[in-house]
Amino acid sequence: MDNIKVFELKVGMFILVGIVILVFIIFSIGDINISKAGYGINVTFNFAAGLGTSAPVRLAGVGVGRVDGIRVMYNDKDQKTYALVHAWIEEGTKIEKDAIVTINTLGLLGEKYLEVLPGTPGSSILEKDGTIAGKDPVMMEQVTDNLVKITDNVSVIIERLKKGEGTIGKLLTEETVYSNLNTFLGRISNISADFDGFAANLKGFSDKLNSNQGTIQKLLTEDKIYRDLEDFVEDIKAHPWKLLSRGR
């Protein structure tokens, strides 16, 4: 009998230790805080986008708490229904009153979480159990409706192009517009060709100057012509009456 009792005691202790370890693992994975100090904040939304309790709270991309309650409230003053989200925030974490709080998703189809973007530097800090208005996430129905509207608009534009409506439609369908455009481009090409000819002539003129050919090049390069011209100018300055006299 004593051996049986000892065996049962060992089994009981083993089960108890297993339960303690299991509870510890559950609390660790779930990031459930028992002894950590913290405070609560309230965030109001018109649309909670399926946010659930125990969803993470991230400030500037860093986990700082968890959502611990969501309920629907009615504001008698504004006569409006809204979602009130209560979140637990770690002690020492400061959230500005003008911070932007929204509901985001980890990945395309991932977990919903509360995203807090820091407010203006130097602004006042949200107090314990304070309330801040959240920024409503975009509803999937709105995204779908916008995509449908864009698709409809594209279809209308394509139909108008097919009918030759608008400038682009006429360019695509009317031969006259195409012919005029082609003529205009041809004239542009001719102007470009004329400019190329002018550039070639200018290059030839420059080559002649560089090859010491022609009167202008001699005036620019031969010192004798320059000195004769300088002497002529000095003589005219000294005897200007020579310009008025005529040989007999």
Residues 6+ apart with CB under 8 A from 41: 86, 87, 89, 95, 126, 128, 129, 130, 131, 132
Cα separation, 132 vs 43, in Å, equals 5
> Which amino acid, one-letter code, is at 156?
V
Higher pLDDT pick, 116 / 216: 116
pLDDT in tens, 41-78: 999 999 888 888 889 999 998 999 999 999 999 888 88
Residue 248 is predicted with a pLDDT of: 46
Q: Would you say residue 36 has pLDDT above 50?
A: yes
Q: Is the pLDDT of residue 38 over 80?
A: yes
Provide the pLDDT for residue 188: 80
Q: Say how far apart CA 43 and CA 101 lie, in whole Å.
A: 8
| Gap between the Cα atoms of 246 and 17, Å rounded | 137
Tell which wins on pLDDT, 146 or 46: 46
Placement of tokens 């807090």 in the chain? 116
d(CA 157, CA 179): 24
Global confidence as pTM? 0.48
pLDDT digits (tens, 9 = 90+) for 127-137: 999 999 999 88
C-alpha 228/C-alpha 173 separation (Å) is 73
**Phi and psi, residue 83, nearest 5°:** -100, 130
Reported as a pLDDT band with limits 50, 70 and 90, residue 106 is confident
Q: Give the pLDDT of residue 137.
A: 83
C-beta contacts of 27-33 below 8 A and 24+ residues apart? 30/54, 31/56, 31/63, 31/66, 33/66, 33/88, 33/90
